Amino acid sequence: MNYWLLKTEPSDISIDDIQSVENGYMPWNGIRNYQARNLIRDQIKKNDLLLIYHSSCKQVGIVGIAKVAREAYPDPEQFNPESRYFDPKSSIDNFRWFCIDISFVEKFENIVPLIDIKNASSLSEMVLVKQGRLSVQPVTQNEWENICRMSKVLK
DNA sequence: GCCAACGTTGGC
DNA sequence: GCCAACGTTGGC
């Protein structure tokens, strides 16, 4: 089993939205970056664990855990002209983009702020720190354990 | 295939 | 709102 990090803008989808979704899973679509696409298509497997990261908001950082409920399948939004994720260059028999389904696992009692991650020497190799703009990223087991530990430190 | 122009992400 | 970093587009 592997670990990953997913970025989301909480004004769009937050950890609370993931927690309260009705049928127990939600599609994670709108990934429109080839590096991220290749990860979800080729490497992300059912039951892999996901750190959920809130970006572009007041408190940026890691807020909880989700898991993969369904492996990569064609993102239906790319075919929908009404969608913000519509891709006019995609057709049913020649498409580009994939999505996965995720389900809620846990909301951290304390957010793990980006600044703390940047300041933690054990996390200096995290993709989150080294490469700014990637919405789906691999996380090592060691990084995973450190993040989970940091989430339990009382503020 | 190069690369300039442009667009997007995302922290601050 | 600024701007650095990076991805994409398109002319040549």
Strand C contact set, beta carbon < 7 A: A 33-35, 131-134
Q: What is the pTM of this model?
A: 0.93
Contacts of the segment A75-79: beta carbons below 8 A, 24+ positions apart: A75/A27, A75/A29, A75/A30, A75/A31, A75/A99, A76/A29, A77/A29, A77/A30
DSSP state of A83: S
**Closest nucleotide to the alpha carbon of A134, via C1':** B9
Please tell me the number of Cα atoms within 13 Å of A28 on its side-chain side.
31
Q: What is the pLDDT along chain A (155 residues), one digit of tens a residue?
A: 999 999 999 999 999 999 999 889 999 999 999 999 999 999 999 999 999 999 999 999 999 999 999 999 999 999 988 888 988 888 888 889 999 999 999 999 999 999 999 999 999 999 999 988 899 999 999 999 999 999 998 66
**Closest nucleotide to the alpha carbon of A113, via C1':** B11
The integer distance in angstroms from the CA atom of A138 to the C1' atom of B6 is 29
The integer distance in angstroms from the CA atom of A151 to the C1' atom of C4 is 30
Q: Which of chain B's bases lie under 7 Å from a protein CB?
A: 8-12
